[in-house]
Amino acid sequence: MFRTFESLKLSVLGAAACILLASCAQQPAAPGASAKPAAAPPPAGASAAAPAAATAAPAADAVDPEVLKALDRMSAYLRTLKTFQLDTYSLTDDALDNGQLAQLGRTARLKVRRPDGLQVDMNNDRGDRNVLYYNGKTASIYSPRTKYYATVQAPPTLKEVVGVLNDKYDIDVPAADMFSWDSGKMDTSSIKSATYLGVSAVDGNLTDQFAIRQDDVDWQIWIQRGNTPLPRKLVIVTTSDPARPQHTVVMRWKTVASFPASDFDFKAPAGSTRIAIQKSDGTVENPGK
């Protein structure tokens, strides 16, 4: 009898990079503000029209085009990163049966080599650790605590593999949408409002803070100022849930990195056991299938 791989499903930071895509409408975001600080400077790289917009309260459901430009500029910059490391720390609310929110903290380290190398090392407050390996041919998930692992055949690119893992196996890869940004300019049709809030320091970095609203979600994003517009912080709120659970993630980037091929090639440690993996439709995929 094969064991299923339910205990190793990855649910850390699935929304962390959804911020640039219309598909993010399914993810939460931060509450929108009613006004901007009067003295707040415009987003880095914004046009001269931004300061005037920053001094008055935005109209209901107003979409500031400078905010969309800032998001698109961030997206374009991230597509230039070929090999990088991303460390994240997140806090995620979960509603208990009595309606009270309970918070769980998680960390993740992503090592990325485009187009076909990925390692994600995830830990949570409960002491659970899971590591995902992808080398362009196979994807493997390993639990060091239980010494169980599962391996599946995988498509040749990061963009494809994160889709397969999510759709076929219910596995959410942290910051998965980073690998979809190659499609170019984002679709902004689902954005109901977008507001520039001002300059804010995050983890020692000066950033521009934005608030965006979509159906069922509010979110805020902090984008580093200057020539490296990296997302530094993200707050997502599910407005369709009366409890309004919130997901917050802080990101630390290493944009120049070099990794050996062994970081992406999984080799089963001595004493480990290969097990079956449960698919999204409830069926079980046996090892080697």
**Predicted TM-score of the model (pTM):** 0.78
Burial label, 284 (beta-carbon count in 10 A; 0-12, 13-18, 19+)? middle
**pLDDT > 50? residue 177:** yes
Phi, psi of 247 (to 5 degrees): -125, 125
Instruction: For the beta carbon of residue 65, count every other beta carbon within 10 angstroms.
Output: 14
pLDDT category of residue 213 using cuts at 50, 70 and 90: very high
Q: What is the pLDDT of residue 24?
A: 30
Domain extent listing, the chain: 6-261
- Are 174 and 14 spatial neighbours (Cβ–Cβ below 8 Å)? yes
Q: What is the CA radius of gyration of the chain?
A: 20
Fold of 6-261: outer membrane lipoprotein receptor (LolB), chain A (2.50.20)
Least confident of 28-42, 188-202, 247-261: 28-42
**pLDDT > 70? residue 9:** no
**pLDDT > 50? residue 127:** yes
Instruction: Please state, in angstroms and rounded to a whole number, the distance separating the CA atoms of residues 174 and 185.
Output: 22
- Are 141 and 132 spatial neighbours (Cβ–Cβ below 8 Å)? yes
